[in-house]
A = this chain, B = another copy of it.
Amino acid sequence: MQETLCQQTLYTDHMEDEVDRLVAAWRRERPDLDVEPLEVLSRVSRLARHLDRARRLAFSEHQLEPWEFDVLTSLRRAGAPYQLSPGQLLTQTLVTSGTMTNRIDRLTKKGLVERLPDPSDRRGVLVRLTPEGRDRADEALAGLLAQERAILAQLSRPQRAELAALLRRLTAPFDNVPG
């Protein structure tokens, strides 16, 4: 079973992508450099951009922007009463504090979240999902999962698990240190 997995992955399906062309170009132009790192990390960056575009399309059916989705779902999965501090939202969405203030302002105007004073820390604020915000998040999530499933159909289930495990080893250092 594991051998099958590896053989599949390592030896079949050599359809080229832009990164193959990019790496080949570097090897021609700069044969003195080892560009192996690009094989992984350029693919990550490019795939993320493709995903952004696809998500923007998927969400437009629900009149949601990707950034709105990110904030609303962070609150949604926090569980009832669906509230987090702006600081917690920062670590989930990986944007700066100025950006988050702006996002909360706009979502408040749209009636999808509301700001409450933090009862235990007068410096702080809590952002809470409104019932409408919760519904919008749930709808959009279902759509996103359908789209992502289609993209991942290129891989078998064990391949997806393998991929997730390899990626985790790269993300964990970022997520677990001050970063």
Contacts and interface: CB of A to CB of B under 8 A. Distances in A.
Contacts of A175: 16-18, 46
A35 B10 CA distance: 27
User: How many monomers of this protein are in the complex?
Assistant: 2
- By secondary structure, the A interface counts as helix
Report, nearest first, the 5 A-B pairs whose CB atoms are least far apart: A48-B48, A37-B148, A39-B164, A25-B77, A43-B167
Range class of the A interface residue count = 35 or more
A45 B15 CA distance: 23
A67 interface: no
Contacts of A28: 77, 79
Contacts of A3: 2-3, 6
B17 A176 contact: yes
A42 to B, nearest CB: 9
A44 to B, nearest CB: 5
Contacts of A173: 151, 154
Interface stretch (A97-105, A114-122, A155-163): A155-163
Contacts of A2: 3, 6-7, 10
Interface in A68-120: 76-79, 91-92, 94
B10 A165 contact: yes
A32 to B, nearest CB: 10
Nearest to A158: B10
A123 interface: no
A168 B25 contact: no
